[in-house]
Amino acid sequence: MDEILIDVVDAVRRVQLNRPDKKNAITAAMYDRLATALRTSNDDAGTRVVLLTGAGDTFTAGNDVRDFLEHPPQAADSPAFRFMRAITSLEKPLVAAVHGAAIGIGTTMLFHCDLVYAAEGTRFQMPFVNLGLVPELGSSLTVPALVGHQRASALLLLGQPFDAQAACAMGLVNEVVKADELVDRAMAAAQALAVHPPTAVRLTKALLKRNAAQALDRTLGEEAALFVQRLVSPEAKEAFSAFLEKRKPDFSRVE
């Protein structure tokens, strides 16, 4: 099965996570495909908008833990980091249709989308600290910028989950819709963007993001360096072992 489905309809490039039996958990190979799909969108005259969706009952459960441990990101050219650079440097509008669950990078990638639509009942979470890790994809910058320090601390330090209504209230989601209307609503928004003057749209997106561009670039590098270090830390090893063994982690003896 092709785990990333890509097609172009009416100038909208639809990119779908297609691993529903694994809750669309993302592997290194999937990151590679996603990075390529986003990078090539910048130069493809037939693509004016990119639409992200997930197959099955989940947007994405985040990283595939076993694959992640077997192929950990260790350098800037690692698939996960290339995807992060690709999504933050995408010049064309990016629309997301989110449902079920958006965990880890499934949430942090949404901060770099231009329009986000969520189905009722969607659950979001950024449990990096819970896994002995640090935030990624610029979320240590984007989350407090959107919701303030205290609320960001609850989301990133405590790893608190939140629902679609909360995501809409904080400004991460544009609109909450019924599950059976989600893809049509997101596609309608993407098609509305696709018929706008493309250069004006691209320049407007660049203007909207210009003030945070340098800070985001610096944050991506700082987070990545710490993330790589944390992956081999005793805390992370205990957290991932507990996850794979389906038990509660014990950090009481971890130094």
Tens digit of pLDDT for each residue in 109-136?
Answer: 999 999 999 999 999 999 999 999 999 9
Query: What is the pLDDT, as a whole number, of residue 255?
Result: 67
* Predicted local confidence at residue 121, as pLDDT: 97
CA distances from 179 to 12, 118, 140, 182, 248 (A): 21, 8, 30, 5, 32
Fold observed for domain 1-179+198-255:
2-enoyl-CoA Hydratase; Chain A, domain 1 (3.90.226)
At 189-223, the pLDDT tens digits run 999 999 999 999 999 999 999 999 999 999 999 99
Domain ranges of the chain: 1-179+198-255
Q: Where are the beta strands (DSSP E) in 88-130?
A: 94-98, 101-103, 115-119, 123-125
Judge contact between 146 and 167, C-beta under 8 A. Answer: no
For residue 1, the model assigns a pLDDT of 59
Closest CA to 84 of 139, 40, 22, 2: 139
Reduced to 3 states (helix: H, G, I; strand: E, B; else coil), residue 178 is coil
How far is CA 41 from its chain centroid?
17
The segments of the chain whose pLDDT lies below 50 read: none
